Amino acid sequence: MRRKKIAAGNWKMNTTVPEGVKIVQDLGEGSFDISVDIVICAPATHLDALNQLELPKNILFGAQNMYHETHGAYTGEIGAPMLQSIGITHVILGHSERREYFNESNEMLGKKLRTALDHELIPIFCCGESLAVRNAGAQNNHVIRQLKESFGDLEGSEIAEIIIAYEPIWAIGTGETATPEQAQEMHCDIREFLRSEYGSDVADYVPILYGGSVKPANAKDIFAQEDVDGGLVGGASLKVDSFAAIVNSF
Ligand code: PGA
Catalytic residue among 97, 104, 129, 167: 167
Amino acid letter, residue 51: N
Give the global pTM. Answer: 0.97
Residues 110, 26: Cα–Cα separation, whole Å: 36
2: pLDDT strictly greater than 80: no
Q: Domain spans of the chain?
A: 5-247
Q: What is the DSSP letter of 70?
A: S
**What are the pLDDT digits (tens) for 160-219?**
999 999 999 999 988 888 999 999 999 999 999 999 999 999 999 999 999 999 999 999
Cβ-contact 21, 53 below 8 angstroms? yes
Q: How many residues does the chain have?
A: 250
Per-residue pLDDT tens over the stretch 85-101? 999 999 999 999 999 99
Backbone angles phi, psi at 92, to 5 degrees: -75, 135
Which protein residue's CA is at the shortest distance from atom 1 of ligand 1?
234
Which of 3.20.20.70, 3.40.1180.10, 3.40.50.2000, 3.10.20.30 would CATH assign to domain 5-247?
Answer: 3.20.20.70
Q: Let me know if 95 is a catalytic residue.
A: yes
- 13 close to 36: Cβ distance less than 8 angstroms: no
- Report the chain's mean pLDDT, rounded to a whole number: 97
pLDDT digits (tens, 9 = 90+) for 3-34: 999 999 999 999 999 999 999 999 999 988 88
Is residue 46 among the annotated active site residues? no
